[in-house]
Amino acid sequence: MTRINTNVSSLVAQNRLQSSNVDLQKSLTRLSTGLRINSGSDDPAGLLASESLRSEITGLTKAISNTNRTSQIISTADSALGQVSNLLNDIRGLVNEAGSTGGLSDEEVAANQLQIDSSLEAINRIAQTTTFQGRKLLDGSQDFVTDIGAVDSVTDVSISQAKLGRAEKLDVSVDIESAAEQASVTIDDAAFGAVDSAATEAKFDFNTYTFEANGSQLVIAGDFSSVEVIDDPGLDGSATATVTDGKLTLTFDSGESIFERDLSQLRSAIDGDTDLGARVIGSSSVAAVDLAETPTTGTTQAQFNVARSDGGSLNIVYQESGTTTSTASYDEATETLTVGVGSDQVSGDLLSLEATIEGLSVPGNPFTFEVDILDGNGDPAGTDISYAYVPAEQLNQDVTNFTAALKDDLVFQLNGATGSETFNFGAGTTPEQIAAAVNLVSDATGVVASTEGGLQFTSSDYGSDALINIEVIDEGDDGSFASNLSATRVTGKDIQARVNGVQASGKGNEFSISTSSVSLSLAVDAGSTTDFEFSISGGGASFQLGPGVNSQQQARLGIGSVSTGKLGGVSGRLYELGSGQANSLSADISGAAKIIDEVIGKVSDARGRLGSFQSTTLASNLVSLNETKANLQEAESTIRDADFAQESANLTRAQILVQSGTNVLSLANQNPQNVLSLLR
């Protein structure tokens, strides 16, 4: 190098030294900050990726904090509900204790009532004072707002979760496909037959009835207001019967006049038939109307039909027997009493005929009436006829009574949803007596009985849990109870419904769904099939559980009020157990037991729902958030954090290069001095 104006070696050394100083400074910065990217120039793409990850990590951190806060809120509410549950259990014990009226004095029952009143006040206090950072949790302010109260068929509703979206409203449509049903078993009438009554002698109230014959009509004047007569009862127009203005009128086509027939043998014919349920009383002969000839059959007969109070009817047919002997028979299938009159039985004496059919609807039952037979001029035409209609329990021992009753001894066990009972009945027990015995213990078995339209056993409850199981343990040889049961074991049916098109889970008259948009349970009137709609328009406690602020990462939970005015169900509200209320210990202890049982179930369900939300939704969300955050932090660290081993090596290299560059630059700066040796 013989030029001195431009020291190329020095320039090169300077550039290299400057570059080494930059590398040294970068290594020192990374080692001092621990970050590989300290400015955008360090790694623009890496900076963008790391900043995005940092944003997500920040959201996750807050979501974790929110989840922990939510869990603390739920724990606070659950703790208060636990105290409410303890108070309710105390009330349940007091109600049960007060049921022992034979073992407790009035003062002790009153003391129990005071304890219940105190517990009710404590529950109301808990509802108003349970707070978290000043926000009340159990006073109903955290429950959903809905217009379902306008739906008459809904008896109870609980909305646990709902997503309302941006519109802050969720419309709910309920379509009930089939109603809940009770379990039911019917016993056919064929299980019962005619029996003899052994009741004591009866005394009767007398009323006067008048018979009047006018050509083809026989008019019976009197109070027939409770008797229903069917026009033209199967006689093809040959005879009709009507009731008008308290008069029973029989009209015959033949128009023949009144005549008398001797029915002295009829009494023995009827009395001798133990299945007939009818007998003749009075003298040995009877006056009757002329028998009309039926066009279709050629049989001379007269017939009328009287409705019975049990829904059946009694057909009474008078016809010529075709012989000289009077006969009588009763057809149970057609409910027809047929009296065959001997053709040569004619005399001037009168007697009366009594047909005692169970359920016959007649005025003043029991009663008798005396009948005056008049001629066309209204003058007496013969001796009075005395008729008597008497209920089964008031007949004399020698009277055969056609009353529906067991044909033989019977022992059976009846199982219901809540218990079982064994019944032992003797021959002659009526369906009404069986129903009364079953209803006497219906609170223990859950089965009630009725006799409208025949004997029927029905479960008190609805749904698949409702049960009727009848096991005939023993029945006499003549009995037919077991063979006439419609079924021996029957269960009810749960309600079938769809909510917003989703098949709900039914249980009796209650149904529930749990979807991503809504979780609710509803109870409707027993056996209701009414579809309805309602809206959820706000309310609920909203919790942000994810890093993104949207409905998918939020949970909206309904926490209902636990005040005594709100807690309750189908049977009533909790406040009704207080002094002076409808279900206090002194007013209705059984009603109080039903209410407290329902309320305990409600509070338990609420605690279970909150506990499930805490242990599943919140706990799993917390684990997921922490794992996601850890993964994102690892990814962000990989991009942005400095590798100290690598940066230490880079620092050492940069330091050596700086030192070497400095020495080289010193040598390069000394090179021009070599020119001086040329000038010597």
Give SS3 for 293.
Answer: strand
Pick from 468, 491, 514: which residue ends a domain?
Answer: 491
Assess if residue 680 is contained within a domain: no
Residue 69 tokens read as 């806060």
User: 450 and 546 in one domain?
Assistant: no
Residue range 290-317, pLDDT digits in tens: 333 333 333 444 343 433 334 444 555 5
Pick from 457, 491, 525: which residue ends a domain?
Answer: 491
User: 411 and 386 in one domain?
Assistant: no
Bigger pLDDT: 38 vs 614: 614
- Domain housing 205: 198-398
Using alpha carbons, select from 340, 337, 353, 122 the residue that is nearest to residue 233: 337
pLDDT at residue 638 in the model:
84
User: 394 and 304 in one domain?
Assistant: yes
User: 466 and 384 in one domain?
Assistant: no
Residue 111 tokens read as 């003391």
User: 359 and 323 in one domain?
Assistant: yes
Assess if residue 288 is contained within a domain: yes
Using alpha carbons, select from 398, 335, 389, 432 the residue that is nearest to residue 197: 398
| Beta bridge partners of residue 247, listed in sequence order | 221, 244
Residue range 13-36, pLDDT digits in tens: 888 888 888 888 888 888 888 888
**Whole-Å CA distances, 383 to 49, 218, 376:** 122, 17, 16
Q: Indicate if the pLDDT at residue 138 is higher than 70.
A: yes
Q: Indicate if the pLDDT at residue 131 is higher than 80.
A: yes
Assess if residue 161 is contained within a domain: no
Instruction: For the beta carbon of residue 91, count every other beta carbon within 10 angstroms.
Output: 25
pLDDT at residue 395 in the model:
28
205 confidence band (pLDDT: 50, 70, 90): very low
Assess if residue 658 is contained within a domain: no
User: 368 and 289 in one domain?
Assistant: yes
Assess if residue 132 is contained within a domain: yes
Instruction: For residue 560, give the CATH number of its domain.
Output: 1.20.1330.10
376-380, 529-533, 544-548: least confident range: 376-380
Assess if residue 614 is contained within a domain: yes
User: 112 and 62 in one domain?
Assistant: yes
Range 388-411 average pLDDT: 51
User: 394 and 416 in one domain?
Assistant: no
**Whole-Å CA distances, 353 to 210, 212, 332, 404:** 16, 18, 19, 21
Q: Indicate if the pLDDT at residue 531 is higher than 70.
A: yes
Mean pLDDT for the chain? Answer: 74
pLDDT at residue 342 in the model:
52
Q: Indicate if the pLDDT at residue 596 is higher than 80.
A: yes
pLDDT at residue 670 in the model:
82
Instruction: For residue 464, give the CATH number of its domain.
Output: 3.30.70
156-160, 210-214, 491-495: least confident range: 210-214
Range 521-533 average pLDDT: 92
Residue with tokens 């073992």: 103
Using alpha carbons, select from 248, 463, 259, 458 the residue that is nearest to residue 361: 248
Q: What is the DSSP string of 626-667?
A: HHHHHHHHHHHHHHHB--HHHHHHHHHHHHHHHHHHHHHHHH
User: 423 and 383 in one domain?
Assistant: no
User: 352 and 417 in one domain?
Assistant: no
Bigger pLDDT: 474 vs 400: 474
Residue range 349-367, pLDDT digits in tens: 222 333 333 333 333 333 3
Assess if residue 48 is contained within a domain: yes
Assess if residue 455 is contained within a domain: yes
User: 259 and 232 in one domain?
Assistant: yes
Residue with tokens 């949790």: 137
Range 546-561 average pLDDT: 83
Using alpha carbons, select from 471, 530, 450, 473 the residue that is nearest to residue 497: 530
Say if CB 212 and CB 251 are below 8 A apart.
no
Total tally of structural domains belonging to the chain: 3
Range 476-483 average pLDDT: 91
Say if CB 425 and CB 410 are below 8 A apart.
yes
* Sign of the torsion angle spanned by Cα atoms 181, 183, 189, 190: positive
| Max avg pLDDT among 266-275, 299-308, 546-555 | 546-555
pLDDT at residue 403 in the model:
54
Q: Indicate if the pLDDT at residue 172 is higher than 90.
A: yes
Q: How far is the C-alpha of 258 from the C-alpha of 287, rounded, in Å? A: 8
User: 275 and 384 in one domain?
Assistant: yes
Percentage of the chain surpassing pLDDT 90? 30
Q: How far is the C-alpha of 335 from the C-alpha of 396, rounded, in Å? A: 23
